[in-house]
Amino acid sequence: MFQARRFTAVLVPAFCLSLLSPALQAADKVNIRIPTAATTGALYPLGAGIANVWNTRLNYVNASVQASNGGLQNLALLKDKEAEASFAVSSIAYEAANGQNTFQGRAYPDLRVLAGLYYNPNQVVARRDSQVETLADFRGKRFSPGSVGGTTDGESRIHLTAAGLNYPGDLQIQRMGFTESIDLMRNRQLDGAWIMAGIPTAAVTEMCATANGRLIGMDSALIEKIQKDYPWYAAYTIPAGTYDGQDKDVATTAVKMLLLTDKSLPDDLVYDLTKTFWENLGEVSKAHAVMNKVTPDMAVKDLSGLSLHPGAARYYREVGLLK
């Protein structure tokens, strides 16, 4: 059972009939618990949208969505069999499956991918008058890697170190959130900032429009170097015109949001969940705009070497996405 102190559950009732896999025609109701993240973020409404589709298209499923503390807690709940489906970015999922960093000594080899979803790209902004053209040019500059303890501090460390800098010693680090970074850039008290979020991102929009900011890209050699050591990164292009004054595509890295499950879930069940999700993608996309650019071929790409659940893989083979 879920513990009330961990998150708040909101049940999404099942009320419509649909076609089932033959092996599940006579099955009892199956509870699918989906921890997400804070209610103010993208994952909570997205999880609710997925739960609603599963409930209304699969009459043996009783899916519920819960608020949680995000990816780390979601993976712990899956591992402890207190959830059946959930979300985490590819970097955290890779570390969990392989017992690295915060998961050292408690690897989760039974973690499986149900679907690859959207990308969260790294967006590096510098003032146009800062003489920064590449990541290496941030040496000696006033730079915000984000708030203390935030994800972007790790992103900054990985990428700037790969670019040849001693992080944080080679920079004048000022750890602050997006709003403070925008104000300091506008007042010429900060040369650059690191942001990771889907595009377009409001903070980057404001930096480019009001703080003389522009995106700093990464060359292919740097991206390949980073991918060699950190296989969860995908190469990503921020299209020209995404932000004010951006007249060229900008190359960067991104981590992928994954819809995850556990190896122990029956293959027929996961097949139905996967098939129903993709065949109702338009309805799921109404839950949050972050899904508007997701296409079925993204389901099996940039999964950081993580294994697909056999039930999901069966569906992807049927539709030609896997051989």
Do both 127 and 244 map to the same domain?
Answer: yes
Do both 228 and 169 map to the same domain?
Answer: yes
Give the Cα separation of 323 and 319 in Å (integer). 10
Span 133-153, average pLDDT: 90
Is residue 86 a part of any domain in this protein? yes
Is residue 200 a part of any domain in this protein? yes
pLDDT in tens, 271-317: 999 999 999 999 999 999 889 989 999 999 999 999 999 999 999 99
Do both 124 and 201 map to the same domain?
Answer: yes
Provide the whole-model pTM.
0.80
Is residue 145 a part of any domain in this protein? yes
Do both 262 and 238 map to the same domain?
Answer: no
- Tell me: pLDDT of 12 over 60: no
Is residue 1 a part of any domain in this protein? no
Span 170-194, average pLDDT: 95
* Segments in the chain forming alpha helices (H): 43-57, 71-79, 90-98, 151-162, 178-186, 202-210, 220-229, 267-279, 281-285, 310-318
CA distances to 19, 23, 81 from 28, rounded to whole Å, are 15, 12, 19
Do both 43 and 74 map to the same domain?
Answer: yes
Do both 198 and 249 map to the same domain?
Answer: yes
Of 207, 236, 254, the residue at which a domain comes to its end is: 254
Of 235, 254, 273, the residue at which a domain comes to its end is: 254
Do both 248 and 274 map to the same domain?
Answer: no
- Residue 296 exposed, middle or buried by CB count within 10 Å (0-12, 13-18, 19+): middle
- Distance, C-alpha 231 to centroid of its chain: 15
Give the Cα separation of 84 and 14 in Å (integer). 17
Is residue 36 a part of any domain in this protein? yes
CB 95 within 8 A of CB 106: no
Is residue 128 a part of any domain in this protein? yes
- Tell me: pLDDT of 1 over 70: no
Do both 108 and 156 map to the same domain?
Answer: no
pLDDT in tens, 197-249: 888 888 999 999 999 999 999 999 999 999 999 989 999 999 999 999 999 99
What residues have CB less than 8 Å from 275, skipping those under 6 apart? 315
Do both 136 and 213 map to the same domain?
Answer: yes
User: Is the model more confident about 68 or about 20?
Assistant: 68
Average model confidence (pLDDT) across the chain: 90
pLDDT in tens, 16-44: 434 455 555 444 799 999 999 888 788 99
- Tell me: pLDDT of 13 over 50: no
| pLDDT score at 7 | 41
Is residue 131 a part of any domain in this protein? yes
Q: Into how many domains does the chain fold?
A: 2
| pLDDT score at 21 | 55
- Residue 228 exposed, middle or buried by CB count within 10 Å (0-12, 13-18, 19+): exposed
Do both 68 and 149 map to the same domain?
Answer: no
Do both 22 and 49 map to the same domain?
Answer: yes
Tell me which residue range forms the domain holding 139.
Answer: 120-254
| pLDDT score at 62 | 98
Place of tokens 């973020």: 41
DSSP, res 28 = P
CATH number of 204's domain: 3.40.190.10
Is residue 2 a part of any domain in this protein? no
pLDDT in tens, 69-110: 888 899 999 999 999 999 999 999 999 999 998 899 999 999
Do both 68 and 167 map to the same domain?
Answer: no
Of 254, 279, 302, the residue at which a domain comes to its end is: 254
